[in-house]
Structure 1
C-alpha cells in the first residue's frame, strides 16, 4: 500500500519557503552580533543556532521520500495540510493558482536507506521525549519545512537527491549490502 503523497503543490512549497524565511529572519533579527545569545536567549547569530532547524529540515526531506508506512503517512498528512493551506492562501488570498511543482521523478530510498530513516526517527523521538534541552519547536518547524520542500522540483528539492543517496549509502554500509 502506497501512502506517499502525490506531490507538492505551489501552495505547499510556499508554506515551506515561508517557514524557512521566517526562521532565518528570526535568527537574523533576534540574534545579537558578537554576543552568545540574542535578546530572547535564541543563541545569537551563530550558525550553531540554526543546526537544529537544518537537521529537522533534512529529516523532513527524508521522511517525505518514504514510500509507505506510518512515517510516510504522517509526512503525507502534513504535506496535504500544507498544500491545502498554501493553495487556499494563493487562490483566495492573492488570486493566484496552485499548480503541482513536484519534480518529474521520485527519488527512491533503498531498504538500507529506510533502515537509516527508522533509526533517525527513533533518535529524534528519544531526544524529543527525554532531552531537557532539545529544541522542539526548531526541529518541528524544520521537519515541516523539509516535508514541504523535499519533493519540490526547484533548488530546495534538489537537496533531497544527495541526501537520499547519502542515506542509501549509509544504509547499505549499515546493513552490509554495499558491494
Structure 2
C-alpha cells in the first residue's frame, strides 16, 4: 500500500507550483487567447492523471517504480521540512479512500505507460510530462482535492478497460 507523508505532499505541491509559475503566460496573453494558453497545461494534467493512476494498486515494475518515486519524494520532503524549516518528519498525511483498478483498468495503465514514456522522450513538453507524472504520484494518494481525483480516475480507467476488452 502506498502512503504519503506531509513531506511527500509538499514535494508534489512544489512541483505543481513550479509548473504553474513557469506556465503563467501573463494577464494580457491569458485574456487574449485563454483556450490556447490553458491548452499548454494539458500535457502536465494528463501526465498528472497517469501518475495518480500508478499509485492505485498497480503492481509489477510500474507499481514498484511508482512506489520508489513516492518513497523518495516522502524522504526528500521530510528532510526539507526537518532541516529546512524545522518541522517534523514521517507524519502520514491523511489519505482518502480509493477505488482499486480492475484487470482491464491495469491494462489501460500499461498502455498509458507506453504513451507517457514515448511522449516524455519525443514531445517538446517532455519536462512537463515528467513533472506531471511525479506530481501525480505524490498527490494521487493524498486526502486533499488531488486525492479525490483518484476515484474518478480509477473509475474511468476501469470503464475504458472494460469497454475495450469487453468488446474483443
| Length-normalised TM-score, structure 2 | 0.87
- Which segment is superposed worse, 17-26 or 137-146? 17-26
User: What is the aligned partner in structure 2 of residue 109 from structure 1?
Assistant: 101
Q: Does 1:171 align with 2:164?
A: no
- Compute the RMSD of aligned alpha carbons: 2.1
Cα distance in 1 for partners of 2:54, 2:162 equals: 18
Cα distance in 2 for partners of 1:161, 1:102 equals: 16
Alpha-carbon deviations, 1:108-158, whole Å to 9, x = none?
Answer: 1000100110111112223344x3x44110000000000000010111111
Q: Secondary structure at the match of 1:46?
A: helix
User: What is the aligned partner in structure 2 of residue 25 from structure 1?
Assistant: 21
Gaps of 5+ in 1: 37-44
Gaps of 5+ in 2: 31-35
Alpha-carbon deviations, 1:27-56, whole Å to 9, x = none?
Answer: 12xx244559xxxxxxxx800111111111
Q: Does 1:10 align with 2:6?
A: yes
Conserved 8 A contact 2:54-2:66? yes
User: What is the aligned partner in structure 2 of residue 53 from structure 1?
Assistant: 44
1:100 to 92, 96, 106: 92
Q: Which is bigger in relative contact order (C-alpha 8 A, separation at least 6)?
A: 2
Whichever structure has more helix as a proportion of its residues is 2
Cα distance in 2 for partners of 1:48, 1:54 equals: 10
Cα distance in 2 for partners of 1:175, 1:16 equals: 33
Residue correspondences, number: 162
User: What is the aligned partner in structure 2 of residue 41 from structure 1?
Assistant: none
Query: 4+ runs of 1 displaced by more than 6 Å?
Result: none
